[in-house]
Homo-oligomer: A and B are copies of this chain.
């Protein structure tokens, strides 16, 4: 393994020469703002933070670091949940925050060309003004960057109908670790021209290059939506209802699962009185349909209600207006925050074929009983994507950082057994890499490590994320 060098005053001077004095931070106070993301309580201080503004600058910075063998960590909005943007080896942290321009909303072709530092929600709003829709919307959409979404192949509630980030990325401009600049594909909906470098980069967690420009496809904005909240007397039957809805031929635009605790905690956390939760309710599904024809949406909602009524439910809450819809969505989007405020926790991003959700949920609880941990589960049930929040609660230090690892391993082994995998949308980063052997055999892992080496022979870019090599 290459040994990294430390960042020197000369390096900092060279970085200032490239990016401008005010965009290179080396004082501890400034840098400490770049030492964390949203992953547990991890903290890694870089040696220097640089904020380039152009592809050319990124290229020169990478050339410098590659020659000087300095570790480089690219960073978007800092909202990651797997530690992908943390400077584990110190070194140079490249913040993409100044790449915040939407370059072209191409209404003729239903495409947008954007820089990676644009906040996802701002991108969504900008295209919405033109009657266009960019669906992937992680819960952090108000602060995360579109570039980070590409690094992690993010999803969000709409993925169940509209797919995840990878389904919208057409082409990427990227700076390789040696400073070379490439485009990965073309601005087209269909492409059978060589290996799909674009899709190799999506989800690669900033380990193969630094994306500097993004071409996304857009779709026409659906004009209407309807939303309902369905309370279930058993969490497992809520999970079972998910698959039944799809088998009945419906494709909701969102299908979110929340265990009782999740909705309870967030309701208290945001002091909402939007929902009254009866004592016998164990879980909720938040179900949305969208489209252009209100009468069709009404029919679909009624059809879905008909399906869930077979599952021992409480009274369905139909959102009456956009205010009530916003309120329900706010509750769902802020669950993670509420859980975090309640206790230290570790979040596992399990995903299985959707009909296996009840088995997964039951297994998680059973494993929790054996290892003595409480979990709060919620997530994108329509995709089979269940976020398992393991609450620290009364666990001792030895349990929390010791034996719990075995419990998590058991959860992931169950996930694998059910045809699933250990991350649906958060990525592997730092915190899940020791579980990669559950999903991939040595041959596949070796292929990935060799791919990393092709792109980054000196292993300077985001080393130690996804795997060690």
B-binding residues in A (CB < 8 A): 106-111, 131, 152-155, 159-160, 163-164, 166-167, 176, 180, 182-197, 199-200, 202-204, 219-220, 243, 246-247, 249-251, 292-293, 296, 299, 349, 351-356, 380, 383-385, 416, 419-428, 436, 439-441, 443-445, 447-448, 450-452, 454-455, 466-467
Contacts and interface: CB of A to CB of B under 8 A. Distances in A.
Nearest to A432: B193
A443 B182 contact: yes
- Chain copies in the assembled complex: 2
A347 to B, nearest CB: 13
A80 to B, nearest CB: 11
25 contacts: A108-B353, A108-B355, A109-B356, A155-B190, A160-B189, A166-B196, A176-B443, A186-B416, A186-B419, A186-B420, A186-B421, A187-B419, A187-B420, A188-B420, A193-B421, A194-B436, A194-B440, A194-B444, A194-B445, A196-B202, A196-B203, A197-B448, A219-B251, A220-B250, A296-B296
A122 to B, nearest CB: 23
A299 B247 CA distance: 27
Nearest to A303: B292
A452 B447 CA distance: 11
A195 B204 contact: yes
B199 A109 contact: no
B199 A166 contact: yes
A247 B107 contact: yes
A423 B194 CA distance: 9
A188 B380 CA distance: 12
A160 B180 CA distance: 34
Given A187-B419, A443-B182, A447-B197, A425 B108 contact: no
Nearest to A220: B249
A203 B192 contact: yes
A278 B337 CA distance: 66
Given A188-B351, A447-B454, A108 B243 contact: yes
A107 B248 CA distance: 11
A270 to B, nearest CB: 27
A185 B166 CA distance: 15
A463 to B, nearest CB: 15
A8 to B, nearest CB: 29
Find the residue from A152, A183, A353 having the highest chain B CB count within 10 A. Answer: A353
Contacts of A246: 110, 220
Contacts of A167: 163, 167
Contact of A385 (B190, B197, B425): B190
Contacts of A441: 182
Nearest to A106: B353
Contact of A448 (B109, B194, B204, B349): B194
